[in-house]
Structure 1
Amino acid sequence: MVNKKVLIIGYVWPEPKSSAAGSRMLQLINFFISQNYKVTFSTPCAKTDNAFDLKRIGVIQIEIALNSTSFDVFVKDLNPNVVVFDRFMMEEQFGWRVAEQCPSAIRILDTEDLHFLRKGRHQAFKDNNPFDNKYLNNAIAKREIASIYRCDLSLIISKVELEILKNNFKVDAALLLYLPFMLSEINETDFLRLPKFNERQHFVTIGNFIHEPNYNTVLYLKTTIWPLIRQQLPKAQLHVYGAYASEKVTQLHNETQGFLIKGFAKDVNEVMQSARVCLAPIRFGAGLKGKLVDAMQNGTPAATTSIAAEGMSSLITACGLISDTPKTIAQNAIDLYTNELLWHTKVNSIPSLFNNFFSIDKHHKLFNNAIAALSDHLIRRREQNFTGQMLMHHSLQSTKYLSKWIEEKHKKV
């Protein structure tokens, strides 16, 4: 394919220093650059100070508007070979416009994580109930899976989520591609130079505070886990990092308790390398947890939960400790913090396992092959996806005319 062009329609401008979602988006952008695509990134969202400078890596940046025919003109003129929707909400807004203006463009959905799974788990947690199918079959599931069917390919970050889609919802495997984080290999020589057990101190946790599972984790640490740890390690500190810390977060700061709200981390590597143990007792959510990836890359073992480790539990089991009860989470953290042999055993396991799991070369090849197969057989693949055709037809009718009504309404204001 000559003069390949990809349009990425972002939910927000990428902020790789603020969230795993931002890092994921940058990985996708770098994939397309490596395959010699001309990359255009667009979003209706306002840009923040934490946004990555995409111009620096040769990406064209375009602001777009919701419910506006200006997008139709823009996308038809661009005429991309591939369009990537960043989360199902962007496909809902712009998918029908892309289908109308650029029918031969391959439509790819990056789910980031399954929003309906995260939503269902959060509701089960609030209800204090075990998570089951009644929480899985929620309104978000209907919207998100409809979006998956309307696209030619959906990128799924976790094998657990892949199995949920295939087994619980009977989504055709041909519409799905398992694509975890695509990361450069850990250089073992550089890894050996990282600070050792005795050169590190204190605990660390990190996460964007806008993301509800992260805020809940900090509360859980404050009220339940950290007091248990401090009973045995009275001089230890927990350094809490994350973007967009609100007043309710900063009010948790307590130097007497060693619970320190540090705010935005300018350099996550520096933060992780100074800490001896990463704490990530996440109780609900979905996808892969960027904080655990950051910890492994910097030789920092983690005390975490099965939800946090989901999608990479074999990797986390080898490189950290997993438990779901407060006492055991706290004891795991204490053991990693005080047992130098255990600490080194976990850390030494990281490079080879990490490199195999997140191999950028392997996953780039699989993604590129999937796009090539779609490009060669796009019409036939769409004909085989009747459910997608049906949903696109109804989406074009309902979403299209609602959007046009909103656009006309705004003209009169």
Structure 2
Amino acid sequence: MGIKRKIKNYIHIKKYYPLSEKTIPHDDHKKTILIVDSQIPTFDKDSASNRITEIAKFLAKYYNVYLVDWRKAIPNVESKKYITNLNDHNVIVYTPFINKYGILKGKKYFINNLLPKIDFVWCHRPELFEYYLDFFRNNAPQAKIIYDMVDIHYLRMERGLEIKYDKVRAREVGKYKYIETELSKKADKIAVISDKEKEFMKAFVDESKLFTVSNVHNLKVSPEDMAPFEKREGIFFIGTFLHDPNVDAVEILHNQIMPLVWKVLPNLKITIIGSEAPESILRMNSEKFQVVGYVEDVIPFYKKCFASVSPLRFGAGVKGKIGQALEYTLPVVTTEIGAEGMFLENRVTALISGNNDYQNFADHIIEICSNKIIWETLHNNSEKAIYPFSIIAQKDEILKMLE
């Protein structure tokens, strides 16, 4: 790092830091886990971040838990609310600081200070596992390395290429396939997102290394506390557009599904929520197809809409957008891919269509917006649907992985 950059960082830290006032002491009587992520997890922007946030908060009840952002030497001021949220649950997050002698202490100091204390390194996402595997093997040989796959990226990419070929994605497939099927053998433990992924990974690694640690969702409200069918209006889609399946799903909604819905329900409005929307999606914005981008507080949509719709045609892993809808007892309309790994039952806990059956998907939207009986069935079965993703249901598997 050049001297100008060091000075700029020093001034920035003097001006904006600390990002959290809470001091969390290290407990020598507890084992220590270091979670390495590609960012300070933004629990309100993407499901993977929400998952690792909830896992970290849970682990901090039993362990010393530290979290470091792999990419940024200086976390943004915008990360303050995420750091504070983690600190409030006793998760220690890396932020640089200036000591009493006026010397800047950064990421190198943070990690080097932890190396002899670490019992587990939790590498969240494949890039992190690839980058840090040898470093921690050499510098913290006592630590067990956990590779948290999040989903099977190469499988999701291959499925996407079958639908829409992309040269950049085609080149990435080989990289992720190597990490996920070969390099993964070097991990001590592997966290997979669902039992379906566990079954898939048995072909590549020893089954004893595989543990299912899914998305973490808990019922946030009681069905009777939410607005009834008669007071609902509209539907919505939610998901970051940095994720290819979400871009494809919104294109399908706009071009194939909603025109069929509007033949029967001409005034039904759909809202598209999600950060990083490309220009092709932004151009779809209209009075009935509203593209609103990132929304900081999405809860009002769960309270007022008929359903969350997810016409996913490819992907892998479990779907955070579906779990979040269930947290607020909101009916879900999705596809077989969307329901994959989610323990959903058609017409009991969700309405599920074939991946490319646009007419059936449209019929399901029409039904959930006009049939009170099916709406109330899904609404009232949300707790049943979400239970497998609760911390209570997953506690034993997580703690077993850390033995």
TM-score (norm 2): 0.82
What amino acid maps onto 2:302 in structure 1? M
User: Who is 2:146 aligned against?
Assistant: 108
Distance apart, 1:50 and its partner CA:
6.4
Distance apart, 1:63 and its partner CA:
6.4
What amino acid maps onto 2:135 in structure 1? R
Q: 1:16 aligns with which of 7, 26, 43?
A: 43
Q: 2:208 aligns with which of 174, 183, 202?
A: 174
What amino acid maps onto 1:244 in structure 2? E
Q: Decide whether aligned partners of structure 1 residues 38 and 277 sit closer, same or farther in structure 2, where only a CA change above 3 A counts.
A: closer
Q: Decide whether aligned partners of structure 1 residues 51 and 326 sit closer, same or farther in structure 2, where only a CA change above 3 A counts.
A: farther
- Give CA deviations for 1:101-128 in whole Å, capped at 9, x if unaligned: 0001111111111111111111111259
User: Who is 1:93 aligned against?
Assistant: 131
Distance apart, 1:231 and its partner CA:
0.9
Q: Which moved more, 1:29-38 or 1:110-119?
A: 29-38
Map residues 42-121 of structure 1 onto 2, 5 A cutoff: 42-45=69-72, 47=75, 49=78, 52-58=81-87, 59-62=91-94, 74-79=110-115, 80-121=118-159
What amino acid maps onto 2:196 in structure 1? V
Distance apart, 1:268 and its partner CA:
2.4
User: Who is 1:232 aligned against?
Assistant: 264
Map residues 253-332 of structure 1 onto 2, 5 A cutoff: 253-255=285-287, 258-315=288-345, 318-324=348-354, 325-332=357-364
Contact kept, 8 Å, 2:35 with 2:122, in 1: the verdict is yes
Contact kept, 8 Å, 1:110 with 1:155, in 2: the verdict is yes
User: Who is 1:408 aligned against?
Assistant: none
Map residues 181-196 of structure 1 onto 2, 5 A cutoff: 181-185=215-219, 190-196=222-228
Distance apart, 1:37 and its partner CA:
1.8
Q: Which moved more, 1:192-201 or 1:33-42?
A: 33-42
What amino acid maps onto 1:4 in structure 2? K
Q: Decide whether aligned partners of structure 1 residues 365 and 297 sit closer, same or farther in structure 2, where only a CA change above 3 A counts.
A: same
Q: Decide whether aligned partners of structure 1 residues 349 and 243 sit closer, same or farther in structure 2, where only a CA change above 3 A counts.
A: same
Contact kept, 8 Å, 2:42 with 2:82, in 1: the verdict is no
Instruction: Please give the secondary structure, in 1, of the residue aligned with 2:67.
Output: strand
User: Who is 2:249 aligned against?
Assistant: 217
Map residues 194-213 of structure 1 onto 2, 5 A cutoff: 194-213=226-245
User: Who is 2:54 aligned against?
Assistant: 27
Q: 1:150 aligns with which of 179, 186, 189?
A: 186
| More RCO (CA 8 Å, sep 6+) | 1
What amino acid maps onto 2:283 in structure 1? Q
1:370 matches 2:397: no
Instruction: Please give the secondary structure, in 2, of the residue aligned with 1:245.
Output: coil
Give distance in 2, aligned partners of 1:157 and 1:94: 21
Instruction: Please give the secondary structure, in 2, of the residue aligned with 1:41.
Output: strand
Q: Decide whether aligned partners of structure 1 residues 26 and 143 sit closer, same or farther in structure 2, where only a CA change above 3 A counts.
A: same
Contact kept, 8 Å, 2:94 with 2:107, in 1: the verdict is no
Instruction: Please give the secondary structure, in 2, of the residue aligned with 1:34.
Output: coil
Number of equivalenced pairs? 355
Contact kept, 8 Å, 1:181 with 1:358, in 2: the verdict is yes
Distance apart, 1:51 and its partner CA:
7.1
Give distance in 2, aligned partners of 1:235 and 1:50: 40
Contact kept, 8 Å, 1:110 with 1:156, in 2: the verdict is yes
Contact kept, 8 Å, 1:42 with 1:63, in 2: the verdict is no
Give distance in 2, aligned partners of 1:244 and 1:62: 26
Instruction: Please give the secondary structure, in 1, of the residue aligned with 2:263.
Output: helix
Give distance in 2, aligned partners of 1:366 and 1:40: 21
What amino acid maps onto 1:218 in structure 2? V
What amino acid maps onto 2:244 in structure 1? E
Distance apart, 1:282 and its partner CA:
0.6
Distance apart, 1:252 and its partner CA:
1.1
Contact kept, 8 Å, 1:13 with 1:51, in 2: the verdict is no
Instruction: Please give the secondary structure, in 1, of the residue aligned with 2:271.
Output: strand
Distance apart, 1:217 and its partner CA:
0.9
Distance apart, 1:359 and its partner CA:
2.7
1:347 matches 2:365: no
What amino acid maps onto 1:311 in structure 2? G
TM-score (norm 1): 0.80
- The structure that is helix-richer by fraction is 1
- Give CA deviations for 1:54-95 in whole Å, capped at 9, x if unaligned: 24432333369xxxxx97765343121111101111111111
Q: Decide whether aligned partners of structure 1 residues 331 and 363 sit closer, same or farther in structure 2, where only a CA change above 3 A counts.
A: same
What amino acid maps onto 2:344 in structure 1? S
- Give CA deviations for 1:151-187 in whole Å, capped at 9, x if unaligned: 1111111222111111xx2421111101112333455
Q: Which moved more, 1:271-280 or 1:325-334?
A: 271-280
Instruction: Please give the secondary structure, in 2, of the residue aligned with 1:226.
Output: helix
Q: Decide whether aligned partners of structure 1 residues 26 and 262 sit closer, same or farther in structure 2, where only a CA change above 3 A counts.
A: same
Q: Decide whether aligned partners of structure 1 residues 51 and 245 sit closer, same or farther in structure 2, where only a CA change above 3 A counts.
A: farther
Distance apart, 1:270 and its partner CA:
1.8
Residue identity (%): 25
Instruction: Please give the secondary structure, in 2, of the residue aligned with 1:314.
Output: coil
Contact kept, 8 Å, 2:217 with 2:386, in 1: the verdict is no
Distance apart, 1:192 and its partner CA:
1.3
What amino acid maps onto 2:279 in structure 1? E
User: Who is 1:122 aligned against?
Assistant: 160
Give distance in 2, aligned partners of 1:11 and 1:315: 34
Contact kept, 8 Å, 1:14 with 1:51, in 2: the verdict is no
- Give CA deviations for 1:172-224 in whole Å, capped at 9, x if unaligned: 1111101112333455xx33111110111001110011111111111111111
